[in-house]
Homo-oligomer: A and B are copies of this chain.
C-alpha cells in the first residue's frame, strides 16, 4: 500500500438511524481515529452520502415513503443525510452524493480516484451487507486494491455483517482486512496484523461454522500460521 497512491473512502457514515445499525458509536469513534491519521499522512479522505430526494425523483424502486410522500430513509430534506458531526468533512474534502447502494454507480468517484492516481483504497462504513459490500465489489471490478476496515463498518444485524464480510473475503481476491488499530499501526510503520485472502473462496461456511470463520477474519488468522 503505497501511501501516495492511497485514498480513504467512507461509505455512508451518516446520521440516518432508522436502520438501527449495531455499534454505530464505536464505528464513529474508530472512524475519527482513522481519518485523523489519514489526514496526517496526506491520504485523501473521501465521504459518500446516500441521498433520497425528498421530491421522490430518482428513488430506488419500492423505496418506502412516508405518508407525506417523502422517503423514510436518507431523505434530502432531513438532517439524516449529514455525516456525523464528530467526523464531518473538512473544507475541501470530497463528498460524493449517490442514489444507489454502490458509491460507484453513476457518480464521479471512479473519475476522481483514477485522476488522482489512486491504486489502493481504505474503505469501510454502513451497512456492511449493502452500500459497503456493493461499493467494495465495484472498487475491485475497477482494479483497486481494497483494504477493508471492519470496525468502522456495521449492519443492522450480526448475521448480515458477518456474512457480508465472509462474502467479500471470498471473492475480492486482493482484499486485506484490518481493524482501525492495526491499520493505523501499518500507516505508522509499526508491526500490524491483517487478514488477507489466501485464495478464492477460502472461507466456506455453514450457519454452524459461520462464527468461527468470521472470527478468523477479525483475529487476522493467516492460513498456514
**Chain B residues with CB under 8 A of A130:** 167, 170-171
Q: How far is the CA of A173 from the CA of B208 in the complex (A)?
A: 28
Q: Which one of A25-33, A79-87, A98-106, A180-188 is at the B interface?
A: A98-106
- B156, A163: Cβ atoms under 8 Å? no
What CA separation (Å) do A211 and B209 show in the bound complex?
13
Assuming the A-B contacts A160-B204, A204-B159, are A108 and B107 also in contact, with contact meaning beta carbons closer than 8 angstroms in the complex?
Answer: yes
CA separation between A128 and B90, bound complex, in Å?
37
A8-20 interface code vs B (CB 8 A; 1 in, 0 out) = 0000000000010
Closest chain B residue to A73, Cβ basis = B200
What's the minimum C-beta distance from A10 to chain B, rounded to whole angstroms?
17
Given contacts A100-B111, A134-B137, A209-B159, contact A167 B166 (CB under 8 A): no
Consensus secondary structure, chain A interface: loop
Measured between beta carbons, the chain B residues less than 8 angstroms from A209 are 159
- What range describes how many residues of A lie at the interface? 35 or more
Give the chain B neighbours of A205 by CB distance below 8 A: 157-160
Complex CA distance for A145 and B62, rounded to whole angstroms: 10
Q: Does A197 have its Cβ within 8 Å of any Cβ on chain B?
A: yes
Pair A60/B140 contact, Cβ less than 8 Å: yes
Sample (17) of A-B pairs whose CB atoms are under 8 Å apart: A58-B115, A60-B140, A60-B141, A60-B173, A62-B197, A63-B173, A102-B141, A106-B107, A106-B141, A129-B170, A133-B167, A134-B134, A158-B207, A159-B205, A159-B209, A160-B166, A162-B207
